[in-house]
Amino acid sequence: MRIKALLLFLFFCGIVNSNFAQKKEIDPQRLIQLSGVAVSDGSLDPVPFITVYDRTLGRGVLADSYGFFSLVTYPGDSIIFNAFGYKPSTYIVPDTLSENRYSIIHLMEIDTINLPEITLYPWPTKEQFDAYIINMEPYDDAIRRAQRELSGESLAMVAAKLDADGSLAYGNAYNLRMSKLYTNGQLPVNNLFNPYSWAKLVQDWKQGKLKRQ
């Protein structure tokens, strides 16, 4: 008998709760359009993409990049705000509202500690750091690096890798044409029989300029 009475009581409670929930869902007079923006309590900057969750109804929305949000609630609902780097906070919709629209500015408390800036070095130990400082080149600054990159050898190496453009090809063709004017109507000059070239070759050989580096 007691079991039947308990079952009837639970069944009656379930019906009452179901009717109350249905009545709450279909009662348009109590709906509140809650809108607002979430900002940081320190700088008052908008908190983007914050989650706004109605714990009473079990649904929520996501704020935009400016921290603006809007959702439908009931008076007395508990609204939970969550954002990365901020402490979760709760807001209760007032039950004394006469209008069906309500706007708020919700402050979020920062939950992180800003650490001072640090500099990481590639030396694992103090001994390696001291050895690097002792053996480093103190004059290898930007000016010396620029002078080294603009030296004749560096520029010649870069120039050798570049392809000939239109102006350079025209200059080479023009110089070749001017050289042919000296032997126009006769055989080209052969330096193999040029005594001055042979004299310069012998001189360079005696001075050791022909040795391989």
Q: List beta partners, residue 52.
A: 61, 81
| Residue 10: strand, helix, or coil | helix
Q: Which two tokens stand for residue 106?
A: 């919700």
CB hemisphere CA count around 71 (13 angstroms): 25
**Chain segment 147-161, per-residue pLDDT in tens:** 888 888 888 888 888
pLDDT of 98 strictly over 50: yes
Among 97, 82, 129, CA closest to 32: 97
Compare 173 and 132 and report the one with higher pLDDT. 173
pLDDT at 185: 79
CA distance 143 to 149: 10
* Domain at 30-108, CATH homologous superfamily: Carboxypeptidase-like, regulatory domain (2.60.40.1120)
pLDDT at 72: 93
Q: Where in the chain is the domain with CATH 2.60.40.1120?
A: 30-108
Q: List beta partners, residue 90.
A: 80
Give every CB contact of residue 121 below 8 A, 6+ residues apart in sequence. 129
pLDDT at 81: 96
**Chain segment 8-32, per-residue pLDDT in tens:** 544 555 544 544 444 445 455 688 9
Please report, for residues 63, 79, 152, 155, the alpha-carbon distance to residue 39 in angstroms, rounded to integers and kept in the order given. 11, 16, 61, 58
For the chain, percent helix, then strand, then coil, each to nearest 5? 40, 20, 40
pTM of the model: 0.43
pLDDT of 118 strictly over 90: no
